[in-house]
Amino acid sequence: MTRALLLLAFAASAFAQVDPIQAAMDKKDYATAIKLLRPIADSGDPQAQSVLAEMYAAGEGTKKDLTQAIALWRQAANKNFAPAQYSLGLMYATGQGVKRDYVEAAKWIRFAADQNMPEAQRDIAQMFHSGQGVKRDYAAALDYFRRAAQKSVVEAQYMVGSMYAAGQGTKTDMNEAISWFRKAADAGLVDAQFNLGAIYLSGQGVAKNPTEALAWTRKAADKNHPQALMNLGLMYINGTGVAKDRGEALNWFRKANGQKVQGALDAIRAMAEDQYAPAQVEMGLAYENGRGVPKLLTEAISWYREAALQNNAAGQYNYGRMYSEGKGVLQSDAEAQQWFAKAAKQGHAQAKARLKR
């Protein structure tokens, strides 16, 4: 719960100081806010204690003091104030101001979760899922994830979908998985978008749907999800849900290779060996710069030459550049100029610039 929400909670109380506190916060006059909050916190009000703790933790209006923050959160947590319980649990989980203790973290986070705090429900669910601070219990994890998911916590929606897909804490149910993935995907969670695309692409537990697969995979790829980049390239090369397009396929494989996705460079090599000149240029660049392969200038030159002989402007330019710079071959201005001229004739800007020089 944010400080803003905590301050709104004061509205239901009888404290006359609410308006001045909020006004000070709005002006970022934290020193004044602390002066106003201190007597309310000292009187035992858990909301004031929790807000004051956050300010000590952040060093706002005062010197940063995690010990003081934890003491205040503990006071409020012992009064069963959920936001303080959650914050105290996070401090134990991260080892800030206290020795890291996942058991203690799980205890306080669970107290907050049982008071229907959605972030706490998400986090205790993750602890049950991974067995961190508590005994691993997929059924309990699913229960808490579901509670948070029903409150629109996107990460929890994704995890509910994942657990239905994997059959963790429940029977495998791909329809349920898709339903929860879709909620998270509609909210913009990239992993959920990728999973939906992958499910529809493979037909895992549902009928294959190339149109849906393409739509969701593209959404994830547009956010640079590594495997989505790869899958979208495969869809273009195979014509799955879209017309075959080697240029588009190469574009996505190139991006996937930039993120070191397994199989991306192999896909580019397959296109190059199939005499697709732009892919040959890409292989040349890979060998020249050591991208996913050993740096081998002889290999780079070979691929550039293959592309150049197919009248590919980029291939001609790069092949000429190797001669111009004497990389892997004897330096030769005459040979370089010959290939720059061919590329320039096709409108290659860098080749034109090299000719002018």
DSSP-derived secondary structure for 2-42: -HHHHHHHGGGS--TTHHHHHHHHHTT-HHHHHHHHHHHHH
pLDDT computed for residue 218 by the predictor: 98
pLDDT computed for residue 29 by the predictor: 93
Q: Which helix (H) or strand (E) holds 247?
A: helix 246-258
pTM of the model: 0.84
Which residue from 84, 82, 79 is spatially nearest to 69, judged by alpha carbons? Answer: 84
List of residues 6+ apart from 275 with CB closer than 8 A: 306, 310
Q: What is the pLDDT of residues 60-82, one digit of tens each?
A: 999 999 999 999 999 999 999 99
pLDDT > 90: what percent of the chain?
A: 90
Which residue from 239, 247, 175, 189 is spatially nearest to 211, judged by alpha carbons? Answer: 239
Residue 263 lies in a domain: no
* Alpha-carbon span 159 to 171, nearest angstrom: 15
14: buried, middle or exposed (CB in 10 Å: 19+, 13-18, 0-12)? exposed
Residue 122 lies in a domain: no
Average the pLDDT over each of 1-5, 187-191, 199-203, 222-226 and give the range with the smallest value: 1-5
CATH number at residue 314: 1.25.40.10
pLDDT computed for residue 204 by the predictor: 86
Query: Which tokens is 356 given?
Result: 């002018």
pLDDT computed for residue 19 by the predictor: 79
Residue 68, number of CB atoms within 10 A of its CB: 17
Side chain identity at 302, as an amino acid letter? S
From 74, 98, 115, give the residue that closes a domain: 115
Q: What is the pLDDT of residues 28-37, one digit of tens each?
A: 999 999 999 9
> 337: domain range?
275-357
pLDDT computed for residue 179 by the predictor: 96
Mean pLDDT on 145-167: 98
Residue 29 lies in a domain: yes
Q: What is the pLDDT of residues 105-139, one digit of tens each?
A: 999 999 999 999 999 999 999 999 999 999 999 99
pLDDT of residue 12 exceeding 50, the answer is: no
Residue 98 lies in a domain: yes
Mean pLDDT on 29-47: 94
From 73, 95, 115, give the residue that closes a domain: 115
From 81, 115, 149, give the residue that closes a domain: 115
Mean pLDDT on 157-176: 97
pLDDT of residue 3 exceeding 70, the answer is: no
Contact 221, 228 (CB under 8 A): yes
Which DSSP letter does residue 137 get? -
Dihedral sign, Cα of residue 258, residue 261, residue 266, residue 272: negative
Residue 101 lies in a domain: yes
Which pLDDT band holds residue 242 (cuts at 50, 70, 90)? very high
Residue 319 lies in a domain: yes
How many independent structural domains does the chain possess? 2
Q: What is the pLDDT of residues 248-286, one digit of tens each?
A: 999 999 999 999 999 999 999 999 999 999 999 999 999
Which residue from 52, 46, 49 is spatially nearest to 65, judged by alpha carbons? Answer: 52
Q: What is the CA radius of gyration of the chain?
A: 30
Per-chain mean pLDDT for the chain:
93
* Alpha-carbon span 203 to 182, nearest angstrom: 16
pLDDT computed for residue 18 by the predictor: 56
Which pLDDT band holds residue 357 (cuts at 50, 70, 90)? confident
* Alpha-carbon span 75 to 71, nearest angstrom: 6
Residue 26 lies in a domain: yes
Residue 42 lies in a domain: yes
Mean pLDDT on 153-174: 97
